[in-house]
Structure 1
Amino acid sequence: MSLNILTCNEESMATVMYRAFEPIGSLLNIDRLSVLAVEDNVAKYRYSWRSDGSDNPYGQGFNIDSMTFLQRRLRSLEPILVNDTETLRRDAENEYQMLSELSIQSVAIFPLIDGKSIFGLLVASNTKEPSPWSDTQKTILSRLSTTVSELHIRMRNQKEMTALQDELIEANQRLHIAAETDELTGLPNRRPFMNELEHHANSLYVSTITTMMIDVDHFKQYNDLYGHVQGDFALRYVANALKHILAPCGHMVARIGGEEFCALLINVSHQEALVLAERMRLEVSDLKIPHTGNEPFGVLSVSIGVSHQVVDEQIATQLLLENADAALYRAKEKGRNQVQSEPSENKQ
């Protein structure tokens, strides 16, 4: 029975307790056996067995604030054994009154201890007539109280461990997100971008892959002219502009370092990719962020290199990036603030 109690879970606890209490009560020849939880000086029945099958009249519990005898004895953490409740009439009037209302003639109360404090009570009682508590009864009830206490401690520790594990999982998730997120812009950084690119390059459901390299024009001069703080604000505006165009279409844009961004478009035609790239370029220009070092435009702008590849066999992801980078280089050579595409034999 002890093993069954110690190994039960929270869902089966009530059933296990009742199945244990019934044979123990019969074996010890007692009329009632209960476990009460004590919190803020209120005792509430958690599990209860009665030989006559009657209901628990104190289902909502009772206050022990005024029961000074009970509280004084419990402070010692020792069992309270009353062979005849009539002996309480003079020195413990409140306790006597309650026990009389319950028709209890003798009672044994074993504190359930969690460390050094009491979290509950194991109460055995007789209602037919006063009966002295034998050594066998005291020994078995004491062992039962220890078992119930150990169960409580195990479940408490289990809950604390589960809560700690949940906190660790949540913390790990936050760290994982932080490790894959660019702190300045909130966009994904290089790692998740490369993982996505590698994943789609080896997927059976991908027909085309488009990569874009996006660079803010003359950004070093912008920092020199307006300062790095203003440069950070500018990068955030650019990131939001790029995301505003691509995110609604389900495409990915990432900041891979400094003023450089990458975009990944899956299953779009070459022409569709160029249209989106041009929309991103215009979206940044329309921000009208002053940049006197970006002549002849006078505002912050981006150059974009596009590489489009039909996936008809395994492709090298590095080649996709190199082609987009080559297209970006050509866009800069031709005067910046424009979109260039790396020529490809297979275009849609």
Structure 2
Amino acid sequence: LRDHDASQHLFQVSSGLDSLVLGEGQILAQVKQVHKVGQGVVGFGRNIGGLFKHAITAGKRVRSETSIAAGAVSVSSAAVELAIMKLPKDGILSARMLVIGAGKMGKLVIKHLIAKGCKRVVVVNRSEERVSLLQEELSGAELIYQPLTEMLSNAAGADVVFTSTASETPLFLKEHVENLPPVAGQVGGTRLFIDISVPRNVGTCVSEVNLARVYNVDDLKEVVEANKEVRQKKALEAQMIIDEELRQFDAWRDSLETVPTIKKLRAYAERIRMAELEKCLSKLGDDVSKKNRKLVDDLSRGIVNKLLHGPMQHLRCDGSDSRTLSETLENMHALERMFNLETEISVLE
């Protein structure tokens, strides 16, 4: 991708349009981090820096001005929505929930479960500290800590098992699951394993067990597809904002060509202001107080700024009006001729 296509792609990524879960906030945080890390790095100059600033603005606007971030906006929330889809109506309120792993993803799963009405969640984790801290953070629900050694016994008493650990090998295989007691009929009669780990914590062989269903990150697409029509509408609204921000970025980038002229015009005006100010103050003599000298200086600056405001506006192109780049450049060349600004190059140097 090059030029406009590359810019549009970054804006879409920043806005969450290219994410598996539409509008997820994590990608915007990553774009912000790239912009932060890029400061001062060779090659990450004014153009690239401006591109990322506009992309971040687009991402913020899309999330605040559309409902794109409503519902499942992360893998963790999509996992909870998938569980709701697979359980009977209101099953989320009575189903016994087990979350294995209290890291960042597991913590979000727990928060989303509680937000959906769960009052009790069993959490299996290496240490109790994380679970205790999370319990302090959350109110209105009970978190039950269990060590990893009790994982299988707790799975026996769970209707839905979420797995989110960094384990390199599966935690659940067919032989672990086939002897677990059956799940009650009022919650569907089938034990759900929702695995959001990479690599997977639940072996594919578990799906061979009768009355057990395994879902992984790939299955989260089903959550996304469930609201396809709504998502497409949100994406269209988001694209309109992206197009607007792209126009403003293109205009800003193009207007960089006028920056040297703006500097020369300001230098020209400042040179005249200082010369005339000196003449004025010398005529007034040494009796002029510091306060009055400052008043005269401020007056001269105010006059210059007001006189320059109109010409400067015609040299700046931010995409907010119908002025084209060619018109802006025409204004630039006209000002250079009127004020003989080419001679200001030597002054600036």
Instruction: Give the number of the structure whose residues are more often helix, by fraction.
Output: 2
Per the normalisation by structure 1, the TM-score is 0.30
Larger radius of gyration: 1
Structure with the bigger RCO (C-alpha within 8 Å, sep 6+) is 2
Instruction: Give the number of the structure whose residues are more often strand, by fraction.
Output: 1
Per the normalisation by structure 2, the TM-score is 0.29
